[in-house]
Structure 1
Amino acid sequence: MQQPVVYVGKWMVTPSINQISQQGRQLTLEPRLIDLLVFFARHPGQVLTRDELIDNVWTRSVVTGHVVTQSISELRKSLKDGDTNAPEYIVTVPKRGYKLTVPVTWLSEEDQEAGDTLPPASGTLPEATAEPPPASTTLRSRLNAFIVWGLFLLALGSCVALVALATIDAHPPVTKTRLLLNPRDIDIHLVSGSGCTNRNAQHAYAVGLGSLITTSLNTFSTFMVHDKTNYNISEPSSSGKTLTIEFVNQRHYRAQQCFMSIKLVDNADSSTMLDKRYFVTNDNQLSIQKDLMNSLSDALTQPWPDRLQAMLSHYQPAQSSSLVTFYQAHQLLMNGDVDSLDKASELLDEVLKASPDFTYARAEKALVDILRHSQQPLKDKQLAVLNNEITQVSDAPGMKEMAILYQVNAVNMLSKGNVDEAYRNINTSIELEMSWMSYVLLGKVYEMKGQNRLAADAYITAFNLRPGENTLYWIENSVFQTSVNRVVPYLDNFLSQE
């Protein structure tokens, strides 16, 4: 049955093709956003709570409030379509929920076939006569019959034309249109510049900074950041800003100088919002990290809240050199394969020997080791060491406010088959930190609960936050193997088109 078409404000919403359109412009939205918009349209002017939205749009499956918030934020962006003067289609009613504030008009469907509208024949045939009727009477009868059939064919043609027009209106053509820039979106790219001494360590340091910036802004600001340091596809982007990290070799007299270049560009007018260069040494990585985060705060007019300052304090080992080694281990963790995890565990042991008070490194060591155990079961002695690591992390000051503790617990609970406890922990992780890793693990939990549709949503969110081979490997192999083609075919089709 044809799904109904509805006007929401100026937008015509066509659920059958997941599209909204107005004045010749068409936007294709994710099916979940279309379902959300249609549900609002069925309840115009009513305040809808998050629980009502979850029960009806997410088909009574339990999801986090953060997923609802993110979906409404994306829907608002699409409805505004870059027009700052556009009305607020969906407003937040504090402590109650959300409300659609624009007029709603539903379009009726054709419910009868053209043939069903024909009137029944009336009158009776004349009785037979002894003599044939006059020629003029016969001619008049034929003429009347011709007129009647002509009118019938004309009416039938009109009905067919009206049905065709209604079908065309209900199915506007899908056209490729360029999206306007979203000024609140930022892409982070790692540029392959000329090689410098100790390039591997510098590359890991840049990847680590990109990950830190992405998580910090996504969690504590109104910006949506996509970490594309592992994504080398050249394709159009709708992000309004681009941050690039590049190591540049530059001759200075007879000495060769190598510096890290950080540039933030506003793609709307190609203006440079931030342009800094750092000479990286073994003693200044910490100071560079602090200065860069403060500079971004100023450039984006985004003051850092106290909780971010507390989180950043966990990323500050006593020795600056430990930070680079930690980021090398962190990059290996992002790779996700067994060999990389083994190397990451060894590097984190080195970090903890040099900086035993670096609690975040201890937590990352526990995450690395629990992932190793999920792929290749550890021996009893190693498992006892791992359990001791988890206990130390749980008891460390401030760690209960860090997402990584709940990521560790979620993987640990999944390995023990305790899906409900894993679900509780990973939701707490997402509430504390919006990161690709948390959404990958959320997808794993949903798969264990038999909710593949919600798992697909989580995996696409993870890939959107950090697109690239590493995230794909995590989706396919972390904790247990996942068939991307079966669970999240959209992502499989997206990658096959590259």
Structure 2
Amino acid sequence: MQQPVVRVGEWRVTPSINQISRQGRQLTLEPRLIDLLVYFASHPDEVLSRDEIIDNIWMRNIVTSHVVTQSISELRKWLKDGDEQSPEYITTVPKRGYKLTAPVVWMTEESADSGPSTLIASPETTPAGQINTLPEPETASAPSFRQARKKVDRRNRVASFWTWLLFLLSLGALIALVIMSLINSHPPVTKTRLLLNPRDIDVRFERGISCNKWSSQQSYAIGLGNLITSSLNTYSTFMVHDKTNYNVTEPSSSGKTLTIKFVNQRHYRAQQCFMSVLLVDNADSSVMLDKRYFITDNTLLSVQEDLLHSLSAVLTQPWPPRMQAQLAQFRNSQSLSLAQYYQADQLIMEGDVVSLNKASELLNVVAKDAPDFINALLEKVLVDVLRHSQQQFNEPQLTALNNELSKIAQLPGIEESATWYQIQTINGLSKGDIDNAYRNINKSIELEMSWLNYVLLGKIYEMKGDNRLAADAYITAFNLRPGENTLYWIENGVFQTSIKKAAPYLKTFLAQE
């Protein structure tokens, strides 16, 4: 039986091979994204709620609304295919859900190959208001998404029967082996294999055991890890976990590991450290990227650009124009200013009052030495807003902060900066303006998928009294950047939070480590 094929706007969608294509270009999507697109195509011009999407795509598996948001965001990126001028295929209907706005035409794979004469189209309305329906060929019928699901369910039940049968046979064999091992006094050796996700990447940092001066470059290496994490999570289909301050060595399900460490080659003196960057595919232990950089004050920027370019190549993940524009903001900054920026960035991650005060002082120096370094200017204001939320400023300090806010509000392209909306979110939380804070954090999440955004989202849900959604946000933040720093932010950022009350699962997970 021929599989249904659907044309959505300019794209031809072939679910049997998880592909979308147009004008000779073919893209392979994850099965859940194909299912999501086909479900939208089965309900053209209908507003679909998140619950309805979860019911029909995830079959009520335990997923949060943020998973739906992220999946739709990924699907939108694939349909745009790097063309920022392309119209939105899926629009958001506030407080109701999502709607597919592109025209939909159904067909079978056979009819799609033979030509447009056998298309199965939706009814069209004539100018006189009458409905014209194209004749349906005998060999094709309009596909039903739910019927397809039922067929899959039947196949799954058959497969489940054979799975259980094989399981019982295996269990019997295992019992026999245990009995034999007891008789022979040779205990069986069992091995477990971890199911790896090829689209997940762990970023790890290892200290320079063989180097004497690695600590002075630690903040730069950790800053690179944070930049790589937020960039890939925002602009690619990979899910990256920044474990640069996470020392737990439990088995990971990530398919790839990017390790940044400082090493010393024997024919160099001990104080000459090289930064090694190694990307390994955990499925077969193959090395995808192996580079070493000699770090000096003059090479910081060139190393950063080369590393991001190399990752883009080995992951076959071209950077979109918006990310390239953001990375271009680093090019005009002085190399020393970039080092100070990453030192301040690490202090911000620590989150305590003393660290934030030091970060503010460092960023103040950067702002004076490199006034064209927009990211540093925004970070400076973010730090000061955080400091004000923890310890109320006096009148001169508050005046200076308001001047900073007014200054950056005039910067060109400020509406494309996630940091700007983070600043507005913290401001709103400090003033008790929850609705405004919620609007701003959602804009920030649309621009950047980062641990800080989800910490702030959790704070907003707490103030709304919705601890369940707050827990979802906190766990997402910890998943993106696990470690003591993120935990400190969850407990103390903006206002104090009881992990035991707001996110008991996270407390239980940490207690088991």
- Whether the 8 Å contact between 1:364 and 1:404 is mirrored in structure 2 is yes
Question: Is 1:68 aligned to residue 83 of structure 2?
Answer: no
The answer for the alignment partner of 2:347 in structure 1 is 332
- Whether the 8 Å contact between 1:201 and 1:328 is mirrored in structure 2 is no
The answer for the alignment partner of 2:326 in structure 1 is 311
The answer for the alignment partner of 2:403 in structure 1 is 388
Q: 2:418 aligns with which of 389, 403, 420?
A: 403
CA 1:425 to 1:254, structure 2 compared with 1: closer, same or farther past 3 Å?
Answer: closer
Match runs of 1:243-254 below 5 Å? 243-252=258-267
SS in structure 1 at match of 2:49: helix
- Whether the 8 Å contact between 1:54 and 1:68 is mirrored in structure 2 is no
- Whether the 8 Å contact between 1:186 and 1:239 is mirrored in structure 2 is yes
TM-score by length of 2: 0.66
- Whether the 8 Å contact between 1:251 and 1:257 is mirrored in structure 2 is no
Query: One-letter code of the match for 2:209?
Result: S
The answer for the alignment partner of 1:186 in structure 2 is 201
The answer for the alignment partner of 1:472 in structure 2 is 487
TM-score by length of 1: 0.68
Q: 1:102 aligns with which of 113, 135, 149?
A: 149
Question: Is 1:211 aligned to residue 258 of structure 2?
Answer: no
Query: One-letter code of the match for 1:451?
Result: D
What is the rounded CA distance, in whole Å, between the counterparts of 1:44 and 1:367 in structure 2? Answer: 39
TM superposition shift of 1:254? 5.8
- Whether the 8 Å contact between 2:214 and 2:273 is mirrored in structure 1 is no
**CA offset digits 1:261-316 (Å, max 9, x no partner):** 00000011111000000000110100000000000000101111101101112233
- Whether the 8 Å contact between 2:264 and 2:270 is mirrored in structure 1 is no
TM superposition shift of 1:73? 10
- Whether the 8 Å contact between 1:242 and 1:267 is mirrored in structure 2 is yes
Query: One-letter code of the match for 1:472?
Result: L
- Whether the 8 Å contact between 1:201 and 1:324 is mirrored in structure 2 is no
CA 1:258 to 1:233, structure 2 compared with 1: closer, same or farther past 3 Å?
Answer: same
SS in structure 2 at match of 1:257: coil
What is the rounded CA distance, in whole Å, between the counterparts of 1:434 and 1:65 in structure 2? Answer: 15
What is the rounded CA distance, in whole Å, between the counterparts of 1:330 and 1:182 in structure 2? Answer: 30
The answer for the alignment partner of 1:428 in structure 2 is 443
- Whether the 8 Å contact between 2:64 and 2:472 is mirrored in structure 1 is no
Query: One-letter code of the match for 1:373?
Result: H
The answer for the alignment partner of 1:412 in structure 2 is 427
The answer for the alignment partner of 1:481 in structure 2 is 496
SS in structure 1 at match of 2:264: strand
- Whether the 8 Å contact between 1:403 and 1:430 is mirrored in structure 2 is yes
What is the rounded CA distance, in whole Å, between the counterparts of 2:450 and 2:40 in structure 1? Answer: 34
CA 1:94 to 1:72, structure 2 compared with 1: closer, same or farther past 3 Å?
Answer: closer
- Whether the 8 Å contact between 1:459 and 1:488 is mirrored in structure 2 is yes
What is the rounded CA distance, in whole Å, between the counterparts of 1:51 and 1:274 in structure 2? Answer: 42
The answer for the alignment partner of 1:348 in structure 2 is 363
- Whether the 8 Å contact between 2:40 and 2:99 is mirrored in structure 1 is no
TM superposition shift of 1:56? 9.1
What is the rounded CA distance, in whole Å, between the counterparts of 1:55 and 1:453 in structure 2? Answer: 20
- Whether the 8 Å contact between 1:333 and 1:344 is mirrored in structure 2 is yes
What is the rounded CA distance, in whole Å, between the counterparts of 2:214 and 2:503 in structure 1? Answer: 36
- Whether the 8 Å contact between 1:93 and 1:99 is mirrored in structure 2 is no
Structure number with bigger Rg? 1
CA 1:56 to 1:418, structure 2 compared with 1: closer, same or farther past 3 Å?
Answer: farther
Q: Which runs of 5+ in 2 are unaligned?
A: 1-31, 56-62, 75-97, 105-143, 155-190
What is the rounded CA distance, in whole Å, between the counterparts of 2:466 and 2:419 in structure 1? Answer: 24
SS in structure 1 at match of 2:149: coil
Using the TM superposition, name which of 188-197 and 356-365 deviates more: 188-197
CA 1:378 to 1:44, structure 2 compared with 1: closer, same or farther past 3 Å?
Answer: closer
Query: One-letter code of the match for 2:49?
Result: E
- Whether the 8 Å contact between 1:50 and 1:68 is mirrored in structure 2 is no
CA 1:193 to 1:72, structure 2 compared with 1: closer, same or farther past 3 Å?
Answer: same
Q: 1:52 aligns with which of 18, 33, 49?
A: 49
- Whether the 8 Å contact between 1:407 and 1:438 is mirrored in structure 2 is yes
> Number of paired residues?
370
Query: One-letter code of the match for 1:69?
Result: T
TM superposition shift of 1:178? 4.9
TM superposition shift of 1:57? 6.6
Query: One-letter code of the match for 1:212?
Result: L
Question: Is 1:363 aligned to residue 374 of structure 2?
Answer: no
CA 1:248 to 1:419, structure 2 compared with 1: closer, same or farther past 3 Å?
Answer: same
CA 1:391 to 1:66, structure 2 compared with 1: closer, same or farther past 3 Å?
Answer: farther
What is the rounded CA distance, in whole Å, between the counterparts of 2:346 and 2:390 in structure 1? Answer: 18
TM superposition shift of 1:200? 3.4
CA 1:50 to 1:478, structure 2 compared with 1: closer, same or farther past 3 Å?
Answer: farther
CA 1:69 to 1:179, structure 2 compared with 1: closer, same or farther past 3 Å?
Answer: farther
What is the rounded CA distance, in whole Å, between the counterparts of 2:210 and 2:357 in structure 1? Answer: 27
SS in structure 2 at match of 1:315: helix
SS in structure 1 at match of 2:258: strand
CA 1:346 to 1:64, structure 2 compared with 1: closer, same or farther past 3 Å?
Answer: farther
SS in structure 2 at match of 1:250: coil
Using the TM superposition, name which of 188-197 and 417-426 deviates more: 188-197
What is the rounded CA distance, in whole Å, between the counterparts of 2:447 and 2:273 in structure 1? Answer: 37
Question: Is 1:496 aligned to residue 490 of structure 2?
Answer: no
